[in-house]
C-alpha cells in the first residue's frame, strides 16, 4: 500500500452511493434513447440521443477521468455535432408547435450554457459564478415545473408518450444533479484523518 506524503492533504474519494446513483441514472437514460426510438418521434429520438452524448461528455470532463491528449479534438467534434442536433430538435419543437417540449429544450440549453460557464470561468470572477448559480436555480425550477406538467398530463390523458416524457424529464433532472455535484466537487468526501498517537 502506498504511503501518503506527510503533511500532504488526503485525496478526496468519491462517495460510492453517489457513483452507483449516477451510473444507474445514466443507464436508464440510455434505455430512454431506445424507448424513444421505438415509441417516439424522430425529433425526440435524435434529441434524446444527442443529450445522452452531451451528458457523457460532461461526465468525462467533470468526473475526474484522465483524458488522453488526442481526446480534446475528438471531444470537441462530438460535442459540436451533438450540440447542433440538440439545437435542431429545439427549433423543430418550436416549429411543430410542441410548446412544452420547446420550453423544456430551451431551458436545458440554458443549463448547458451555464455549466459551460462554470467550468470555463476563472475562479477569481466570483460575481459571474454567483450569477451563473442563481440562473441555474431558476432554470432547474422551470425544468422541475415542466416535469410536473408532464406528470399531470400523463395522469390526466394517460398517453404512453406523456408517461415517457414525464419519466424522461425526471431522469434528466437527476442526471444534471449528478453533473452539478461533479462540477462543485460535492460528490467526493475527505477520508477521516486519524488522531495522532
Domain membership of residue 45 (yes or no) is yes
Domain membership of residue 83 (yes or no) is yes
Domain membership of residue 42 (yes or no) is yes
Q: What is the pLDDT of residue 41?
A: 93
Domain membership of residue 46 (yes or no) is yes
Residue 125 has pLDDT above 70, yes or no: yes
Residue 12 has pLDDT above 60, yes or no: no
DSSP designation for 121: S
Cα 154 to Cα 167: distance, rounded to the nearest angstrom: 10
Domain membership of residue 180 (yes or no) is yes
C-beta separation of 39 from 161 below 8 A:
yes
Domain that holds residue 25: 14-64+75-186
Count how many domains the chain has. 1
Q: What is the pLDDT of residue 185?
A: 64
The whole-model pTM stands at 0.79
Which three cell numbers, joined as nine digits, stand for 119? 467550468
Amino acid at each position: 500500500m502506498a504511503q501518503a506524503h506527510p503533511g500532504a492533504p488526503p485525496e478526496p474519494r468519491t462517495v460510492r452511493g453517489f457513483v452507483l446513483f449516477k451510473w444507474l441514472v445514466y443507464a436508464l437514460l440510455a434505455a430512454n434513447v431506445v424507448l424513444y426510438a421505438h415509441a417516439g418521434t424522430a425529433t425526440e429520438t435524435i434529441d434524446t440521443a444527442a443529450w445522452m452524448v452531451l451528458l457523457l461528455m460532461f461526465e468525462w470532463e467533470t468526473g475526474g477521468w484522465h483524458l488522453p491528449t488526442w481526446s480534446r479534438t475528438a471531444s470537441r467534434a462530438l460535442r459540436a455535432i451533438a450540440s447542433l442536433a440538440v439545437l435542431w430538435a429545439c427549433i423543430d419543437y418550436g416549429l411543430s408547435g410542441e410548446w412544452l417540449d420547446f420550453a423544456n429544450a430551451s431551458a436545458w440549453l440554458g443549463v448547458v450554457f451555464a455549466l459551460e460557464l462554470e467550468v470555463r470561468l476563472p475562479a477569481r470572477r466570483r460575481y459571474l459564478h454567483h450569477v451563473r448559480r442563481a440562473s441555474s436555480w431558476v432554470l432547474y425550477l422551470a425544468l422541475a415545473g415542466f416535469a410536473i406538467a408532464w406528470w399531470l398530463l400523463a395522469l390526466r390523458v394517460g398517453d404512453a408518450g406523456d408517461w415517457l416524457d414525464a419519466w424522461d424529464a425526471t431522469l434528466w433532472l437527476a442526471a444534471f444533479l449528478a453533473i452539478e455535484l461533479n462540477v462543485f466537487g460535492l460528490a467526493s468526501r475527505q477520508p477521516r484523518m486519524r488522531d495522532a498517537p
